[in-house]
Amino acid sequence: MIKSIVESELNDCLELMKISYEASALRFNQTEENCPHRGRTRLPLSELRKEFVEGCQMYSYFHNSKRIGFLSVMIQDGVMKINDLAILPEYQKMGFGSKLIEFSKEAAKKKKCNKIILGMIDDNVELKKWYEKHGFKTVSLIKFDTVTYRVGRMELVL
């Protein structure tokens, strides 16, 4: 079940993000020195709270009453931006992330958005293929001097 979160749940969602993103942060050697907030694994609660207050729509995915997923999106000028899509590692590759993507697509259509965008580590080939399976296409690549990987911007035209 996917439910909107309230501000008092932000800390639980932040912990889920940290656990979910940790393997990627390690794999791509993200540090505080080369990547702000270590790719969101070390995002301060104050930053997540600021995003919430500024209008990010945030959701949790519950499976058997356990919070296993988190989705954060921002809608502006007819575009939905996915800030976070995180699933606890032990629940990955079980279809829960796909359900959050489908939920995002439906929410974007209801809000009259014409596309969904996101940023990701382009060198994370498996994740990139997963997004492509859901209709996303890479539209730009950026190589930052501080890291060894490229950051890709992907979009899905609705």
The model's pLDDT over 81-108, given as tens digits with 9 standing for 90+, comes to 999 999 999 999 999 999 999 999 999 9
Question: 46 pLDDT band (50/70/90 cuts)?
Answer: very high
pLDDT at 32 exceeding the cut of 90: no
pTM of the shown model: 0.94
Q: The tokens of 49 are what?
A: 């709270």
Find all residues with CB under 8 Å of 97, minimum gap 6, and list them. Answer: 69, 85, 87, 130
Domains of the chain (ranges; CATH) run: 2-112 (3.40.630.30)
Categorise residue 77: left if φ over 0, alpha if ψ from -120 to 50, beta otherwise.
left
Find all residues with CB under 8 Å of 99, minimum gap 6, and list them. Answer: 2, 61
In tens, the pLDDT along 111-142 reads 999 999 999 999 999 999 999 999 999 999 99
